[in-house]
Amino acid sequence: MKVPVWAEIDLCAIAQNMREIRKIVSPKSEIMAVVKANAYGHGALESAKVVLANGAKSLAVARVEEAKELRKAGIEAPVLLLGYTPGAQFKEVLDLNLIQTVYSLEMAEALNSIAERSGRQAKVHIKIDTGMGRLGLTPGKSALEDVLKAARLPHLIPEGIFTHFAAADSADKTFALAQLELFNSFLEALRKAGLEFPLRHCANSAALLDLPQTCLNLVRPGIIIYGLYPSNEIRNSLNLKPAMSFKTRIAQIKKVPAGFKVSYGSTYQTSHPTVIAVISAGYADGYSRLLSSRGIVLVNGQRARVVGRVCMDQCMVDVGHINDVYPGDEVVLFGSGGGETIPVEEIAKLTGTISYEIVCMVNSRVPRYYLNQKGQ
């Protein structure tokens, strides 16, 4: 690569992960692949093409802007908007033939009104909040009445209904199972009232792996598509392969004495003569400042420690123990290179966060290079 910092995305890995997911999903269940947040940093368009070619029937994003990019690129598959959509964008939802998540009767009525004025019908999925405390109607008599009213609106097509688990990625499944029971009870109440949605879904990545009973007739894998597990408490026999490697280059090599101060605030000082490599990635690229004097990178296939504070566009690494290091050499921030790997989960642990955030943080100014485009 001729750039100072980049991300490599292995499309064959995404294809393999989709095939692994298909193995544990009933043939009766459709796969809706979640490609929001630029496919968790992996590139929504390229990822969407791969998942649709490997078993996904539909896609899910968070916002209209994300869906618009897919439509502009010629993606015609059904796309569900999972998040909040302002009423001012409802016409665009119709123009782009998107499926809108609805989580209140008022929202349903507003969308119905826009659809009526446009002479069209809007597909919707109703969101039920069974314990996440986020978007959704809370199960009960009022919610039941609201869903029945929304489903009768003449310019809405009530295609689906779903909920989302708050703790399916925990070892203790008690709360997830309680959510499932509540959701199923609500679906049964709707059936008794004469309403059954064609699509019913609640299984996210963690539920797919650990709770097969949550796989209704549609499932929503997200992070596992990209080869990462939802948490350290979730492990499965699936042969998942991480798809992203985040890389940079050495800009300069410095031989320094003991007592040499490094980076802003002079928070790091060498204890002995060594060699410092200045590398061309910083927090503006998505390499967290929390990795200051903590991060580990790969240089020539060997681990080296970040020293001093991570800067906006660079950071420094002690490479005194590694032979034959030169400006221009490749450095792996996470992922694989030189026959070795720094797992995303390791970086997440060092920064006190989750793997989702680490891959999503890789900035838009970092170019993505897609590997194995013909082998997917």
| Residues acting as catalytic residues | 36, 264
Dihedral sign from CA coordinates of 130, 86, 361, 49? positive
User: Taking a C-beta distance cutoff of 8 angstroms, is the pair 140, 177 a contact?
Assistant: no
User: Who's near 30: CB < 8 A, 6+ residues apart?
Assistant: 57, 58, 199, 217, 218, 219
User: Taking a C-beta distance cutoff of 8 angstroms, is the pair 41, 260 a contact?
Assistant: no
User: Taking a C-beta distance cutoff of 8 angstroms, is the pair 298, 340 a contact?
Assistant: yes
- Nearest-angstrom CA–CA distance, 127 and 63: 15
Q: For 166-197, give the secondary structure using H, E and C.
A: CCCCCCCCHHHHHHHHHHHHHHHHHHHCCCCC
Q: Which amino acid is at 107?
A: M
Distance of CA 164 to the CA centre of its chain: 15
| Cα maximum dimension of the chain | 79
